[in-house]
Structures are given as C-alpha cells and as structure tokens.
A and B are shown apart, each in its own frame.
Chain A
Amino acid sequence: MTNVAVHLEGQQSLQTHAHDALASGATHTKGQQHPIKLYLVVWGWLFVLSTCSYLVDYFGLQGYLRWSLILLFMVLKAGLIVAVFMHMAWERLALAYAILLPPVLVLVFVAIMVLESDYTHLIRVIFFAAAT
C-alpha cells in the first residue's frame, strides 16, 4: 500500500518535473499577456463612466434616478477593474468564485442593517419627538 503510494508520488513529481522543463519558459515569461490596447480601451471607459457619475451630481439629479445611475456606474467600473485590470476574466473559475462570491454575501449584511436602521430611525422619531 505504502509502496504503491510512494511509487505514484514519485511518478507524479517526475511527470511534473518533466513538464516543468518543457513549459516553464512559456508560462513563466508570458504570465498574463494581453495587448496594451485592451488596457487603454478600459482606461478610456473608466474615464467615461467616472465622468458620467460626476455629471449625475453636477446636474443635481435626485431620487431613484440618481441612486440607480450611481450604482450602475459603480458596478460597471468595479467590473471593468476586476475583470481586465486584475485579470479575473482569465483566471480559472475555482479562483474567481472563491474570491468573488464571498463579497456578494455582504449584501445579506446590508439587508440586515437596512432593517435595523429603519427600526432605529422609527424609535428615534417616536421617542425623541415625544420628548421635545
């Protein structure tokens, strides 16, 4: 049993080693290699989106239109940065899901705190108003 395990391990590391010798040049020098133009295009888009979100404030849009536009531009910018600048679009899904799913769960926390602060606000309105 142990013999088999050792044998298998030996074979595997041999295989890895052989593969290393072949591919190390390719993977190590290349890494994440994409055309510069892609970064420039994303850079341009980030400028456009930032200008748009600034204009939302400049023109003084209010209410749900303001909030939805702010969130839309925010999500688009964040998506571009993570996907292209941080190369998440080219990583294996095992990494992408491990890193990107947990922050999404923060939304549950957001929901809890929205309920909580609505409650606090209500109590403050009722009791602080009564005191004055």
Chain B
Amino acid sequence: MTDAALTSTVEPLARPQGWRGIAADWSSDQRAFKNVSWGKAMMWIFLLSDTFIFSCFLLSYMTARMSTTVPWPNPSEVFALTIGDTKIPLILIAIMTFILISSSGTMAMAVNFGYRRDRAKTAALMLATAAFGATFVGMQAFEWTKLIMEGVRPWGNPWGAAQFGASFFMITGFHGTHVTIGVIFLIAIARKVWRGDFDVERRGFFTSRKGHYEIVEITGLYWHFVDLVWVFIFALFYLW
C-alpha cells in the first residue's frame, strides 16, 4: 500500500497547466515532478549536473582560445583525411557525427518498442545503438592515435597554440568516456529486455526491485544526452 503510494506516477486529480501548473507543482511540500517517476527525474537531474561539467570544459576551452596570442590550429586542416588522392576537410568528424545521430534514432525507436512490450525489436534496436556507439569510440581512438603520431600533446603541438592539445584530449576524452559507459549501460539493459525481466517482473540484482520498461527510456535519456553533448563539441570545437 505505502509502496504503491510512494512509487505511483499517477495523480488522483487533474493538474493545472502552464505557469499556474509550475506554481502548483512546486508549492505546498509536494512531490514536484507529478507524472515522472523518481528514476526518470533522477536521470534528468544527473544530466543537468553533467551539463555543467561539459559547460565548464567548453568554457575553459573558450577562455584559452580567446586569451592566447598564438594562433589556434585550424581544426578543418588538423582533422582532414586524405582519402584516395583528395584531402577532405573534417571528414572523419562528419562521419562520427552521422554515426552518433543514427544511434540516437535507433535509441528513440527502441524506447517506443519498449513501451509496446516488443522485446525482440527493443533489444535489437538497443544493440544496434550500442554497436553505433562502439563504432564511434573506435573512430575516436583512431583520431587520437593519428593526432598523437603527428605530435599533439597536452602541452604542445606542431601547429600553434599549446592549449589545443589539452582542450582536445580533455573534451573529447570525457565525451568518449561517456559514450563507452553508455554502450555498457545499453548492453546491460538490452540483456534484461531480451531475457524478459520486465515482463515477468524479475527482481534486479543490485536493487532487488522489480524493473520496468521505463528503464529503456531512462537509458535513452542518457544516450541522447551523449549525442547532445557531441552537437555542442562538434559546433564549438571542430567547426568554430
């Protein structure tokens, strides 16, 4: 009974909308997020804190780039690849961007099939997302190797401002770590979906609580956030 009341995501009365709704939801010592479960709310709050972490990285990169008197290396040339005989600017990064966007698309559809309780499609789409993510990390490893071979270090590089290396390794490294964790998270949840844990209400290994298909959406929130951060890194670090 108490358990049902605590974890219930259903409100007994219709809630006001708009600004009136914000005031009503936040006031009077209630639970502020009415139709959102604690799991989803906590993922959103974690993502908010992660936003601040990435903001700090991008801000320190901006400060270093704006305040240096040495010219900043041109990312368009640094990240160019020679395919065949032609040198194409930034092509690797463009491909990585498309891969990550595709992974977001498959993830969004996995969430949809999850709520329809379509185990096979949900698990398959989640694994496809994980495969895209792993490809992305692989390409990032290739990119890092290439730059390190060319002499980029956190304290210097052959083309210009010394802070380029430090900013690059810090920002893309942290993002790559997030993608890697996401891939592991996806595989773990895909396994549970495939096994049917959420249909037979099998209790979790760590939490001993019954899982639910909502975890697919929560995993999705994390994954889309990783894609979202890449949108900002792509624009502000690679294209600027």
- Whether B18 is near chain A, meaning CB under 8 Å from some CB there, is yes
B228 lies within 8 A of A78 (CB): yes
Q: Which of A43-59 contact B (CB under 8 A)?
A: 43, 46-47, 50, 53-54, 56-58
On chain B, the number of residues with a Cβ less than 8 Å from chain A's Cβ atoms is: 75
Is A5 among interface residues, defined by CB-CB distance under 8 A?
no
Pick from B8, B107, B234: contact of A85, CB below 8 A: B107
Contact of B235 with A by CB under 8 A: yes
**Residue B132 interfacial (CB < 8 Å):** no
Residues of A within 8 A of B114 (CB): 31
Distance in angstroms from A74 CB to nearest chain B CB is 4
Chain B residues numbered 61-85 whose CB sits less than 8 Å from any CB in chain A:
62-64, 66-69, 76
Return chain B residues, CB-CB under 8 Å to A66: 239
A6 at the interface (CB under 8 A from B): no
CB distance from B224 to the nearest CB of A (A): 5
**A56 partner residues in chain B, CB cutoff 8 A:** 239
User: Any chain A CB within 8 A of the CB of B231?
Assistant: yes
Whether A116 lies near B239 (C-beta < 8 A) is no
Are B239 and A85 neighbours in the complex by a CB distance under 8 Å?
A: no
Q: Is the interface of B mostly helix, strand, loop or mixed?
A: helix
Q: Given contacts A31-B217, A50-B101, A110-B59, are A39 and B112 in contact (CB under 8 A)?
A: yes
Please state if B112 and A34 are interface contacts (CB–CB under 8 Å): yes
A13 to B83, CA, bound (A): 66
Stretch from B26-34, B138-146, B148-156, B165-173 forming part of the interface with A = B26-34
Give bound CA distance, A114 to B62, whole Å.
Answer: 8
Residue ranges of B at the interface with A (Cβ–Cβ < 8 Å) = 1-2, 4-5, 8-12, 15, 17-19, 21-22, 25-26, 32-36, 41, 44-45, 47-48, 51-52, 55, 59, 62-64, 66-69, 76, 89-90, 94, 97-98, 101-102, 104-105, 107-109, 111-112, 114-117, 212-214, 217, 220-221, 224-225, 227-228, 231-232, 234-236, 238-240
Can you identify 15 A-B contacts, CB atoms within 8 angstroms?
A16-B5, A16-B12, A19-B11, A20-B8, A39-B108, A54-B94, A57-B238, A67-B240, A81-B224, A84-B108, A86-B220, A87-B217, A92-B34, A93-B19, A94-B26
The 3 closest A-B pairs by CB, nearest first: A94-B25, A74-B235, A43-B105
